[in-house]
Amino acid sequence: MTQSLNPDDRHLGLITDLYELTMAAGYHVYGMADEHATFELWVRRLPSCRNYLVAAGLEQAIHYLQHLSFAPEQIVYLREHPAFRYVPNDWFERLEHFRFECDVWAIPEGTVVFAGEPLLRVSGPLMQAQIVETYLITALTVQTLIASKAARIVTAAQGRPVFDFGSRRAHGPQAGLLAARAAYLAGCTGTSNTEAGRLLGLPTLGTQAHSWIMSFTDEQEAFRKFGQLFPDHSTLLLDTYDTIQGACKAVASGAAMQAVRLDSGDLERLSKEVRAILDGAGRQAVKIVASGDLNEYKIADLLAAGAPIDVFGVGTELVTSRDEPTLNVVYKLVEQETPQGTVGRFKLSSGKATYPYPKQVYRRQDARGTFSGDRIVKATSQEQGEPLLAPVLRRGELIEALPSLEASRRRCAEQLRRLPPELLALGPCPSYPVQVSEELEAELHRPK
């Protein structure tokens, strides 16, 4: 018997770390499960190669919260798990009727964010808010990581289309879908992933593999037959044997083609020579697509050298965020209502200190509309600027429909346009100013 390991909406309950469930059982046993608590999720620090991040993944996180339940076979598994040997039966019965009924506030997808700023806030029964930690971190980490990388690549391309070519390099089939979504949100033109095209309505682009060329005895015949079958969607791969000869054969074949693709070698030199061959044959309208381990730095160098490349396909570097493949995302308890009253919760660990109480982020701008600084304050405080966190769920129900992917994409483009120009540089720059209010700072120094 084989297993796909692709989770469905009936089996979301156990997609979490074991300790979330042992803590949940403990909260139940000791009468704490329904105490009102607030958790917040944020990125502890920016990666060294990122001047900003693009928030992404909220839609999938909300889908999870609205469909979270425990299937009967999952509850049986927990009953038989040795860790739960002494847990009373009424906790398992509670799981049978589990439903997420917390309030959720979040920063909208496509928003530029910085370290320390809460991306998401969950308030509700302690047990419910605890169980969702693992999934929420995963859902927001993956797409925020890739959207942030994609935004840099799109910026480097200077208006030229960038396509996600990374499905085969992603960390699993579902990761390829998430990467396609995040990349599009951050400004990529489309994807090679056909299912992402179907599910999300993304533009899709397909070229051809070297195996197509090698399957024919003659390269020119391979080009011609592909063009015959796909006259309006024909991108010919030139570098199976020799790129320059391939370009000459593509022209000589008379094949219908909208573009040619260069996937290896000195892309600057080859693109210039191929452009000359195409133009000399009267094929000025044929575009040049470049791929092959590209990233924002290579793209910037190619364009600075005058490479006549029209479209970029980026795979491995995009879908794995190869230079910065991880984000230090955390989800921490910040407030709890106990029998003794409401208490702010925080850590004082070296390098991992956290601020108590629910928070809001206010973003200021200058007279030109350029973002000038953020301020993190208690959620009950009022500040100048735009509040970034907005209510999304009330007692587990959507307050209003989430923005469409297209709306989030437009938001991202507008956010990037309003960033201080130096933050769009590929290299490091002075940090964007993010302040923590004096009131929050003072909480860390109150007598314990």
pLDDT tens profile 17-62: 999 999 999 999 999 999 999 999 999 999 999 999 999 999 999 9
pLDDT at 446 > cutoff 80 = no
pLDDT at 79 > cutoff 90 = yes
% of the chain with per-residue pLDDT over 70: 100
What's the mean pLDDT in 60-85?
98
What's the mean pLDDT in 124-152?
99
pLDDT at 448 > cutoff 70 = no
| Phi, psi dihedral angles at 385 (to 5 degrees) | 110, -175
Distance in angstroms (rounded) separating the CA atoms of residues 192 and 351 = 41
What's the mean pLDDT in 60-81?
98
DSSP 403: P
Distance in angstroms (rounded) separating the CA atoms of residues 389 and 399 = 14
% of the chain with per-residue pLDDT over 90: 93
Mean pLDDT of the chain: 97
CB 177 within 8 A of CB 205: no
* Predicted pLDDT of residue 351: 73
* Predicted pLDDT of residue 439: 96
pTM summary value: 0.96
Distance in angstroms (rounded) separating the CA atoms of residues 434 and 231 = 53
Stretch (H or E) spanning 125: strand 120-125
pLDDT at 445 > cutoff 90 = no
Sequence letter at residue 60: Q
Distance in angstroms (rounded) separating the CA atoms of residues 297 and 250 = 30
* Predicted pLDDT of residue 394: 99
Banded pLDDT at 444 (limits 50, 70, 90): confident
CB 58 within 8 A of CB 150: no
359-365 vs 386-387, strand pairing mode: antiparallel
CB 441 within 8 A of CB 357: no
pLDDT at 122 > cutoff 80 = yes
Q: Where in the chain is the domain with CATH 3.20.140.10?
A: 18-146+327-443
What's the mean pLDDT in 207-225?
96
Sequence letter at residue 255: A
The radius of gyration of the chain's CA atoms, rounded to the nearest angstrom, is 26
Q: What is the CATH number of domain 149-319?
A: 3.20.20.70
CATH class of 18-146+327-443: alpha beta
Tokens of 105: 């506030």
* 3-state SS class at 246: helix
Residues whose CB is less than 8 angstroms from the CB of residue 81 and which lie 6 or more positions away in sequence, other chains included:
none
- Least reliable range by pLDDT among 6-20, 173-187, 281-295, 347-361: 347-361
Distance in angstroms (rounded) separating the CA atoms of residues 99 and 395 = 10
* Predicted pLDDT of residue 381: 96
Distance in angstroms (rounded) separating the CA atoms of residues 283 and 447 = 76
Sequence letter at residue 332: K
CA distances from 128 to 7, 57, 109 (A): 20, 20, 24
* Predicted pLDDT of residue 4: 80
In tens, the pLDDT along 396-442 reads: 999 999 999 999 999 999 999 999 999 999 999 999 999 999 999 99
pLDDT at 447 > cutoff 70 = no
User: In 3D, which of 299, 295, 296, 279 has the Cα closest to residue 287?
Assistant: 279
What's the mean pLDDT in 359-381?
98
pLDDT at 178 > cutoff 90 = yes
User: In 3D, which of 52, 156, 70 has the Cα closest to residue 107?
Assistant: 52
Q: Where in the chain is the domain with CATH 3.20.20.70?
A: 149-319
Tokens of 2: 């084989």
What's the mean pLDDT in 286-313?
99
Where are any strands of DSSP class E within 300-370? 311-314, 329-338, 341-344, 359-365
